[in-house]
Amino acid sequence: MNIQYTTAKTIDEMLQILSLQEMNLKSTVTAIEIAQEGFVTVHHNLDILTRMNNACPHIIAKDNDLVVGYALSMTEDFKDEISVLRPMFTELEGNNINNYITMGQICVAKTHRKQGIFRGLYEAMKKASYPTYDAIITEVDATNIRSLGAHYSVGFEKICTYHSLGQDWELISLKTS
């Protein structure tokens, strides 16, 4: 296996991201998978995914020509475009957090998990973000124990927990330097 970390550049890569996302949405995975493997929450479309990428390229992990992982980059300009994320940006303003890039979603293909790709995606994102941004910010559904553990293991620190849309969210930060 030869994993390459790069930025998304083509429509084919965007479509592969969307396919991987669809397979891992909370609404499409079983309760056992949710508990053991985690899940993603937001469902993007090609238009918004492409516009987000044009503003700040997404980081992808490729095994030959296959996208096997992604970390979506999202600038603050998109805070009103994905309704489930609006409360996160309100929390960031309330906590006086500045000069950050938002990691809008991270996912690794089931076939490629437990091989360091999650860590590799964040290492590539840190390199791509520094020195423009001081931190990578994201939120994780507080019930997504697998994802929270993975984030804390690569160095994320908790900013706060807040309640929105009937659930609790962990707002977390990773320094880029």
% pLDDT > 90, the chain: 67
Structural domain range at position 86: 3-175
* pLDDT confidence of residue 112: 96
* pLDDT confidence of residue 103: 93
* pLDDT confidence of residue 98: 84
pLDDT band for position 1 (cuts 50, 70, 90) = confident
CATH code at 104? 3.40.630.30
59-109 pLDDT, tens digit each: 999 999 999 999 999 998 888 888 888 899 889 888 888 889 999 899 999
| Rounded Cα gap, residues 130 and 133, in angstroms | 5
Q: What total number of domains does the chain contain?
A: 1
* pLDDT confidence of residue 51: 95
